[in-house]
Structure 1
Amino acid sequence: MPTYTHTETSFATAWAEWHAAHERHRADPHGFLAVTHLHWLGEEPARLDGVPGTWNVENDAVRLVLADGETLQQDGRELNADGGATVLFGPIAERGGVNLAAGDTVVELAKRGGEYIVRPRHPENPLLREYTGTPAYAPDPAFAVDGTFVPFDEPRPTTVGAAVEGIQHVYEAPGQVRFRLGGKDVTLTAFNGHAPGSLSVLFTDETSGKTTYAANRSLTIAAPGADGTVHLDFNRAVNLPCAYTDLATCPLPPAENRLPVAVEAGEQTPTERQEA
């Protein structure tokens, strides 16, 4: 029977609690697993599967025409209260968006790669309804390491590819994260994270396309200390939406962010992709 130290047990327990919370968030009734369609809007008015109205783009804004009997709500407000309406949205900032409601469906209107998209999300989408969880490596403290954040003199706009052809994403890279893993000194270009001061890295490694999703994984890093110290826990590396569905526009890692080691930690290839 294996024996564990108190520290190892606490580490594993903290990881299990974190991953359970992450899985609950992923399985939100209107999260990305609920996306049923991905519509790219153009200048010509068009009706969209799964969404009321006629949609098109005019002068960097989206024009929505709702016919009599069609309904959408925004922040609880009926957009077609008078029986027929024309509504303009935008301009919307890159990676921004608004959520509308049509019954049980949340309709996401967003801008990705400079283009406007509409993605309906329904809680009865089979991908969500049949989701049973994401496999992951057992937590291993060896993949939780300290490193150093080295800021650039000025943040660098960094262009990366996307999970869908024809678009690119541009992120602001404030600097690099340097650390040692698997006996090798490595460096990752970091982007700004969601929380103020935090960082986010997109990466691949020697497990990519084998036990982990081929295109990318993501790791959030807490804000660096005053001396630039950062902590990277690759046990908390997660899949992006494109690992589960082709209806996602996820960014790909910068070319320099392929780690020359096997990061046998964090989330593995989703069951849905293994079966595919």
Structure 2
Amino acid sequence: MADPPSGRLGRMAILSLVAGCAEPWPEPPVVDTGVFAEEHEDWRSRREARAVEPPGGPVLWIGLWDLPHGETVFGADPGLPIALPAEDSPPIAGTLTRQGEAVRLEPAPGAAIRVHEGDLIEGPIELRHDRMEDPTRLQLGSLGLRVHSEQGTDRLWLRAWDEDTPERETFRLPDYFPVDPAWRVQARFEPYVEPEPLRVPDVTGGMVEFIARGELVFRRGRKEHRLIATAGETSSSYFVMMWDSTAVDATYQGGRYLRVDFPDESGWTTIDFNRTYNAPCVFTAYSVCGLPPRRNWLPLRVEAGEQRPN
């Protein structure tokens, strides 16, 4: 065990620690418990609806294939690098050619690929991936197709979803912990001098990168905890990847996600852990989910928010 600090610096450190513990911590804005429960249920209902809506609903996703540089042929032929369901695709539907971030589609004759709710594609077209403005959304039978990209990596994928999947009617979110206003806490945002890249592993074995803007500092009991908060240039809130010890027995083993409002002028915001939610990879194998950085592993049980599926 390290020796305690001594001398003047040691006394200053101890006084600083005592002062920090004694500093009053603001309470979150008072809410009516009935209204709070209704708002939480409304948020949950909207989340459940989004999970089955194309193209972003993970329940509909049926495939995710790497797009290497050069040509990749796709269709229903099971020997192809991208093999689609035979009920929706001809044996060869077309060829995707990647050069850098540019991806060109050349449909096979008679493949009947359309731009979503548009005309048949008769010749080569350039595809815009889903991190570009106005991404290209393709339609082939009941399938939707789109080039998928993740921030902080040059990898590209072809994502497919099936709008006729039966799960669209039967899907339900997993259980939540009982909604509890005590899991609404005030947090002080401590911005970094400059935004920092935050590289984290993803569930495919690669790495993705986020922009870390600073840290959210909150108290549980008398102990302070920190969470790295990320946000893109056009984000309307902070995105937080977190892990806590409920992952051992109750929540997703890989951690959960959380959205937090930007702070007010005084630097404070509210974290509502009742709205922690599962990453898409909990509901599908065809996802690229970033995993919480070790600094966002909380040494406590957050018994709030979405649990793992049964």
Would you call these one fold, judging by a TM-score over 0.5?
Answer: yes
Counterpart residue type for residue 46 of structure 1: V
Counterpart residue type for residue 10 of structure 1: V
Other-structure match for 2:52: 27
Asked if the contact 2:130/2:147 (under 8 Å) is kept, the reply is no
| Aligned-residue offset at 1:120 | 1.0
Map residues 226-265 of structure 1 onto 2, 5 A cutoff: 226-265=265-304
Structure 2 residue 113 is matched with structure 1 residue 104: no
Other-structure match for 1:78: 119
- Structure 2 unmatched runs, 5+: 1-30, 75-81
Q: Which has the higher strand share?
A: 1
| Aligned-residue offset at 1:142 | 1.1
* TM-score, scaled relative to structure 1: 0.86
Query: For 1:217-237, what per-residue CA distance to the aligned partner results, in whole angstroms no more than 9, with x for missing partners?
Result: 111111210011010000011
Query: For 1:97-156, what per-residue CA distance to the aligned partner results, in whole angstroms no more than 9, with x for missing partners?
Result: 532222322212122332111111112335545423221111011111111111100000
Counterpart residue type for residue 94 of structure 2: G
Distance 2:129 2:290 in 1: 22
| Aligned-residue offset at 1:79 | 5.0
Counterpart residue type for residue 141 of structure 2: G
Structure 2 residue 96 is matched with structure 1 residue 55: yes
Distance 2:119 2:42 in 1: 40
Other-structure match for 2:156: 116
Cα gap change, 1:93 to 1:29, in 2 (>3 Å): closer
Other-structure match for 2:73: 46
| Aligned-residue offset at 1:77 | 3.7
**Once superposed, what is the RMSD of the aligned Cα atoms?**
2.4
| Aligned-residue offset at 1:23 | 1.1
Map residues 112-261 of structure 1 onto 2, 5 A cutoff: 112=150, 113-125=153-165, 127-165=167-205, 167-192=206-231, 196-261=235-300
Structure 2 residue 126 is matched with structure 1 residue 88: yes
Structure ID, larger Rg: 2
Query: For 1:40-70, what per-residue CA distance to the aligned partner results, in whole angstroms no more than 9, with x for missing partners?
Result: 1123422222263222322332132211111
The alignment partner of 2:40 has SS state of helix
Counterpart residue type for residue 214 of structure 1: Q
Identity of counterpart residues, as a percentage?
A: 28
Equivalenced residue count is 262
Distance 1:135 1:194 in 2: 33
* TM-score, scaled relative to structure 2: 0.77
Counterpart residue type for residue 35 of structure 1: W
Distance 1:14 1:240 in 2: 21
The alignment partner of 1:37 has SS state of strand
